[in-house]
Amino acid sequence: MTQAMSTPAFSPPASERPILEVKDLRTYFFLEGGVVRAVDGVTFSLARRQTLGIVGESGCGKSITSMSIMRLIQSPPGRIVGGQILLHLKETDEVVDIVQLDPKGARMREIRGAEIAMIFQEPMTSLNPLRTIGNQIAEAVQIHQRVSRQAAFARAEEMLAKVQMSAPKQRAREYPHQLSGGMRQRAMIALALSCNPSILIADEPTTALDVTVQAQILDLMRALQDDFGSSIILITHNLGVVSQMADHVAVMYLGRIVEFASTRELFHHPLHPYTEGLLNSVPVLGRKGKQVLAPIKGMVPSPTEVIRGCPFAARCPHVMEICRDRDPALREIASGHFAACWLHSIA
């Protein structure tokens, strides 16, 4: 049973115009073994200069949501089958539905980099190993700003300095394999921000980095957001990172948003049992010895399985009869706090 179109999870205050509106987005993969509903009715808004954290277990649809926004879904087998991705362009404030654009067309290529940029999970597989860091950044600058090669390379050196890369002129002439993991991540951030995009999508930006470098990268992203005025979509499974970075949090499970709230509200008053499970499974400094970590029981259902009722019912400690029969819609339970759970939605 598919989820009915849900209430928009977050509408920015009237004083804050949205920069991005995702409405009932559905991205499916059509495989021999069945249809994978990787993103199945996702709705949210992103305000200007705000950071939205998207969290959930591996395979919940976080990265596919971001790849859908960038129109980087491999087709076949993947395809956006419904919904809208409304982008408010920074110069003209024209509203463009990205879903209607040709993913390989000129308009979408203009939007990537200039309007929306992305930091991918693993820089070593995203950077071209055969080209220097400076040349890769300079190429992006030339595509979107149509400046000379010399000016574009100077911009690359400037951006490497902005991301606090040591010896930026030297690093611009080095190849990805010559840099450490933290340096490659800084290079990816420099590449993403080289054309001053309105939206930066960061997909697990601190994965595989040690805690010291993680802290440096997060501090850098906050500082650059202040400098460039970008909005950020932060995709991660690390709730500690979200607590430091995000203004609002969307919790995803099996391709859907099951809870949405301000960061403080969600961490202090979680409403969905899945969110409670995520929070209870995180180590907390100072936790008393008797308060052991509580993993979420059970397994995530097969992505090709058509589930009747709430998709979390089989793993939920509070499951009721209605949960196995009817799928709860995402509803506003408290001011600005949305959850898709029958515990709070029974009329």
- 24-41 per-position pLDDT tens digit: 999 999 998 889 999 999
- Model confidence, pTM: 0.88
**How many alpha carbons fall within 13 Å on the CB side of residue 42?**
32
Domain boundary among 196, 230, 247: 196
For residues 135 and 116, is the Cβ–Cβ distance under 8 A?
no
The answer, yes or no, to whether residue 2 has pLDDT greater than 50, is: no
In the chain, pLDDT over 90 holds for what percent of residues?
52
Same-domain pairing of 19 and 106: yes
Same-domain pairing of 14 and 133: no
CATH of the domain at 85: 3.40.50.300
CA 146 vs CA 107, 139, 142, 151: distances in Å: 16, 10, 5, 10
Same-domain pairing of 25 and 166: no
The answer, yes or no, to whether residue 10 has pLDDT greater than 80, is: no
The answer, yes or no, to whether residue 21 has pLDDT greater than 80, is: yes
Same-domain pairing of 249 and 137: no
* pLDDT-derived band at 4, boundaries 50, 70, 90: very low
Residue 43's pLDDT is what? 94
Domain that holds residue 96: 1-115+197-271
Same-domain pairing of 12 and 93: yes
- 283-331 per-position pLDDT tens digit: 665 556 555 667 788 788 887 888 889 999 999 999 999 999 999 999 9
The answer, yes or no, to whether residue 110 has pLDDT greater than 50, is: yes
Residue 224's pLDDT is what? 82
Domain count, the chain: 2
Whether 342 is covered by a domain: the verdict is no
Same-domain pairing of 182 and 245: no
The answer, yes or no, to whether residue 251 has pLDDT greater than 90, is: yes
Q: Taking Cα atoms as reference points, which of 85, 44, 59, 58 lies closest to residue 261? A: 44
Same-domain pairing of 8 and 148: no
The answer, yes or no, to whether residue 255 has pLDDT greater than 90, is: yes
Whether 291 is covered by a domain: the verdict is no
Same-domain pairing of 184 and 228: no
Both structure tokens of 55 = 């969290």
Whether 250 is covered by a domain: the verdict is yes
